[in-house]
Structure 1
């Protein structure tokens, strides 16, 4: 267990908050420049988040949040769990942490210059290793649980693409079965898989994709949206065929359906953000318990709407009520034959506010702006924080989202 930080160290970290507000992004940018100079470490990262600056922005926000809450680290528990789950998905090990320490402390000294006194550097060294020891301990617990679970594994395991399904103009699903023919670990609805990929012309890449299938012991399904100029999404859509073998780590993530499930649920998604909800809906449909479910989704047009037939089947069987918003199309009717309500335009705060059930638990997934606005609307309407759950795409570089979490 990590030893508590002493009062002097916590005081110095708190005093550094203004410097982090002014120079945090410069520090994390420099940190990644140093860290990624090592090819073995660079291969652990999603490099697209480096090219667009998302990862340094997200880390700058995380470091700032850590400093602001150094006297009350209990509020960081959720963030620590998300980081630990992400690290396990990427197979981060204790021996990787010293590289990060050297890069971060070196970046602080480089950016702050003479202001980075020995006392400040000592305090940040202690603060880093305090958090690192917490993460290492939690990650070890997750690795052990994965190894012990039926069908579980640690490290990278080869999976074969057994089936491809085009879900919409932009989304394709890939069903994955283990190459060794053995069972797979039963995932918790809402979790994701991490992939170690070798993309021709680009080399090593890392990606996480939500599992879009109901829990089972034979296979997983991921559903991937093609992104404009997306290195990995283009490769998956254009080159990965049935029979292609991919390296996969065990399911991870804490954005999951509770057990037992909440008394009533509202799923709010935009774009490909519905993928974890398809896993949750599959689990709810297989359950003998029946709870009220509302499914609200925004997509561009009927052509970009993934899993439309599945949602309509659930609606026709009375398992859920559904609202679909088309941001770039006008539906021909207000409701289709299965009872799904259709809307022109995006979901608005005014519409959501009038539909709110304050007793329900809300699950939200989609682009950062969508999640930020939706969370703000729910909180303004008086929905308790404990009833609002959302999944970060990418690195959560939107300041309002990590802050709210």
Structure 2
């Protein structure tokens, strides 16, 4: 429990964090990696180079300070981050390391403004926040390990099959190397894949959505060739090769107990968790009305078109495909698609039900635009919209 004095001191630093947050977190990462280079095995180095990770951490620190007297306000975000932590192997022993170098970074950047009272308040507050993460993650590790077929940390999987789904996306069918059964997952969840790329000093970890319903002995991920790890998977690994995988995680999951109409909206590789949701909903709720909206550049870049149509054929699912740059072949083949983008006109034309459950996945800009359209054009309540974010949470507003 934080004292009133500690709370007041932390809240007084909010304006400073808004101004110097990214400088502090940049300094934090520099200090921590210099002292503990082994932690580079757990961090996405692409995000480090792009500096998006420091922006995300700055937003999280800012949110913690602004809500220090009501930490329950950020529990949903804490849980989302905890899923990621569990999936990559963050443990209780890592939190004191983070705390040490975060406090050093605050002192380095703020200098004399970081008075002993401020530093003591932040040390106390960090302990409370760290304990919240550790407690939530303990339960997640316990669940991952104790469920039937479950495991903690990483397990070796074999690539059973590779299938090209589009010009950019390839599916990998993964089976445990030990032949054991797999634990079920919720539609929309992801796994972390850890690989050792030749010539790289550290392991690389990336999250990929499970792109099919749960079948018991095989997981499917569908990977866009974009970045170091995905390029390695596409170009270097073949059927029979192995990778390390963590147990399924994530809170962007289908509510399969809802009887509301279901609207799944995606763009590009954002289709992957939607395929899992589509398969699962049709299987478990065969009479549920589903509108499946997917945007792609054209048929060459459109993954799972045939699979989506097959699933929809004998169900109450309606697929709608939007191509922004259709090819001549797309017209010649006479395949069904809407030309352009998902906009106000299309949403109104589809007469989407404002009382539906909405799930959206794509780029940050795409998801923000969809949220705006759904709430302003359809009048749907904001809490009916669920979005998936794999990259760092960059906006402070997302935590408020």
CA distance in 1, matches of 2:110, 2:298: 49
Over 3 Å counting, the alpha-carbon distance change for 1:349 and 1:51 in structure 2 is farther
Extract unaligned runs of 5+ from structure 1. none
Aligned with residue 146 of structure 2, among 129, 148, 157: 148
Q: Deviations over 1:130-169 (max 9, x none)?
A: 1110110111111111111111011110000000000000
Deviation of 1:288 (Å): 4.9
Aligned-residue offset at 1:332 = 2.5
Cα distance in structure 2, aligned partners of 1:298 and 1:36: 40
The CA deviation string for residues 28-72 of structure 1, in whole angstroms up to 9 with x for no partner, is 111111122212211111111101111111111111122222222
2:193 aligned with 1:195: yes
Q: How many Å separate the matches in 2 of 1:357 and 1:258? A: 17
Return the match for 1:243 from 237, 240, 244: 240
- Secondary structure at 1:199 match in 2: coil
User: Which of 358, 362, 370 in structure 1 is aligned with 2:354?
Assistant: 358
Task: State the alpha-carbon separation in 2 of the partners of residues 312 and 86 from structure 1.
Answer: 32
The CA deviation string for residues 74-128 of structure 1, in whole angstroms up to 9 with x for no partner, is 2211101101111100111101111100111111111111111111111111111
- Shift of residue 216, structure 1, vs aligned partner: 2.5
Which residue is 1:204 aligned to? 203
| C-alpha distance in structure 2 between counterparts of 1:130 and 1:289, whole Å | 46
Deviations 1:3-35 (A, max 9, x none): x22211111111111101111111111111112
Specify every segment of 5 or more residues in structure 2 that has no aligned partner in the other structure, as ranges: none
Aligned partner of 1:221 in structure 2 is 220
Aligned to 2:74: 76
Instruction: Name the CA shift for 1:356/1:285 in 2 (closer, same or farther; >3 Å).
Output: closer
| CA 1:75–1:350: 2 relative to 1, 3 Å | farther
Q: Which residue number in structure 1 is paired with residue 338 of structure 2?
A: 343
Deviation at 1:352, TM superposition (A): 2.5
Q: Contact (CA 8 Å) 2:256, 2:281: kept in 1 or not?
A: no
Cα distance 1:296–1:184, how it changes in 2: closer, same or farther (>3 A)?
A: same
- C-alpha distance in structure 2 between counterparts of 1:384 and 1:107, whole Å: 41
The equivalent of 1:327 in structure 2 is: 324
The aligned residue for residue 44 of structure 1 is 42
> d(CA) in 2 for partners of 1:27 and 1:376?
33
Asked if the contact 1:333/1:342 (under 8 Å) is kept, the reply is no
1:349: how far off?
3.5
| Count of paired positions | 394
1:96-175 paired onto structure 2 within 5 Å: 96-175=94-173
1:394 partner SS? coil
Structure 2: distance between partners of 1:399 and 1:11: 20
Q: CA deviation at 1:255?
A: 0.4
Give, in whole Å, the separation in 2 of the partners of 1:378 and 1:256.
19
> 1:280 and 2:271 equivalent?
no
Kindly indicate whether the alpha-carbon contact (under 8 Å) linking 1:226 and 1:234 is maintained by their aligned counterparts in 2. Answer: yes
Structure 2 CA distance for aligned equivalents of residues 352 and 98 of structure 1: 49
| 1:291 counterpart = 2:283 | no
User: TM-score with structure 1 length normalisation?
Assistant: 0.93
CA shift in 2, pair 1:396/1:262, >3 Å: farther
Residue 264 of structure 2 corresponds to: 267
Q: Does 1:177 align with 2:175?
A: yes
Contact 1:44 1:206 in 2 (8 A): yes
**Corresponding residue number in structure 2 for 1:371:** 367
Moved more, 323-332 or 168-177: 323-332
CA distance in 1 between counterparts of 2:316 and 2:333 reads 20
Larger mean CA deviation between 266-275 and 276-285 belongs to: 276-285
**SS of alignment partner, residue 161 of structure 1:** strand
Which among 14, 17, 31 is matched to residue 14 of structure 2? 17
In 2, the alpha carbon distance for the partners of 1:73 and 1:383 equals 28
Quick one: distance in 2 between partners of 1:335 and 1:250?
A: 42
Larger mean CA deviation between 173-182 and 141-150 belongs to 141-150
> How far off its partner does 1:356 sit?
3.4
User: Is the 2:267–2:295 contact (alpha carbons within 8 Å) kept by the matching residues of 1?
Assistant: yes
Provide the aligned C-alpha RMSD in A: 1.7
Aligned-residue offset at 1:397: 2.1
Instruction: Give the drift of 1:399.
Output: 5.0
Mapped partners of 1:383, 1:329: distance in 2: 31
